[in-house]
Structure 1
Amino acid sequence: MNWLDPFPVIIDTAHLGDADDLAEIHAGAFHRGWSPAEIEALLADRRTIAIVGRRGSLFGSRRPVGFVIVRAAGDEAEVLTLAVAPAHRRRGIGRLVMDEAMRRLYADRVKALFLEVDEGNQAALALYRRLGFTVAGRRGNYYARPEGGSAAALVMRADIG
């Protein structure tokens, strides 16, 4: 906690009531954001783990500022999305929600976690490498660019347990 941002980030499970806020955060992070209905469907799926970082407040507000949604299948899982609100980036929120998701996957005996990331997203690549992810492959022309064209995705993998 510092004097510029005196309220801590609280790590929690995302709830259906968070869908509007999560859709807003997602839209601020990706060219094609997900609707509240799409997020609700993922939150309702028993195979998903959805972790949210909430900004604490003296006034009781617990508004989400970042989140991750992961889907598990057997002993593998995939990060479906990770997003942090623009005003709250570079404060470690992505790391906090990913750490918690990985702890829960470990408790569920998941062995490997996969994700796709735009190969040009240096901030995300740095985070994933710090979390133990390594490049497992590459998918060309995977992401549409807002200005036209496309970008490749790196497929990354982290061994959990």
Structure 2
Amino acid sequence: MSGGPIVLRSGGHADLRDVMAVMDDSFDARFGEAWTMGQCAGLLPLPGVWLMLAREDEAVLGFALARLVADEAELLLLAVKAAGQRRGIGRILLEHFEDEATARGATRLHLEVREGNHALSLYEGAGFELVGRRRDYYCGQSGDRYDALTLAKSTGKLR
């Protein structure tokens, strides 16, 4: 990486290999958080779904996958390659998710994250608050189970 500017652009089916490369690099398989290519491909054509890629010099370093249902938006996946972490790329993607969701009419934002995931501090720093817990939601490679934390925040947009 040359350290050029981070550029966001919309993604689609043609970008799924890049998305999977980021996911494989950033999600530790022992926790069971990553999605399959089929899961991502199946979601992309649905109404209200969008994919945003973070690129640097044509290399995809991160992505965010989200959806809007009625007036609620959910951040389904956010990942940044290890080589791109600690550079603000996750924050850029999260801010874009919030802006895009609000522009699409969302009044409430949701996401789930594995308890202990280092991204939790990013979400809490952006104002997301714990609203629920799914016990033993993730199943890792070894069979270990991990809780999912449900976080939410209001966009401040009134209907």
Give, as a single letter, the amino acid of the residue that structure 2 aligns with 1:46: P
Give, as a single letter, the amino acid of the residue that structure 1 aligns with 2:48: R
TM-score after normalising by structure 1 = 0.86
Structure 2's unaligned 5+ residue stretches are none
Q: Deviations over 1:83-123 (max 9, x none)?
A: 111111111111111111111111111011111111111x2
Matched, 1:94 2:95: no
User: Which runs of structure 2 are paired with 1:59-70 in the superposition (5 Å)?
Assistant: 62-70=58-66
Residue 44 of structure 1 aligns with which residue? 45
Residue 129 of structure 2 aligns with which residue? 134
Give, as a single letter, the amino acid of the residue that structure 2 aligns with 1:134: E
Provide the aligned length of Structure 1 versus Structure 2. Answer: 152
Could you tell me how far apart the structure 2 residues matched to 1:34 and 1:148 are?
17
Identity %: 32
Could you tell me how far apart the structure 2 residues matched to 1:37 and 1:142 are?
20
In the TM superposition, residue 5 of structure 1 has moved relative to its aligned partner by 4.6
Residue 145 of structure 2 aligns with which residue? 150
Structure 1's unaligned 5+ residue stretches are none
Q: Deviations over 1:22-74 (max 9, x none)?
A: 0121122332433334323323223112111011x3xxxx2211011111100
Could you tell me how far apart the structure 2 residues matched to 1:114 and 1:142 are?
16
Could you tell me how far apart the structure 1 residues matched to 2:46 and 2:94 are?
19
SS in 2 for 1:44: coil
**1:11 aligned to which of 3, 8, 13:** 8
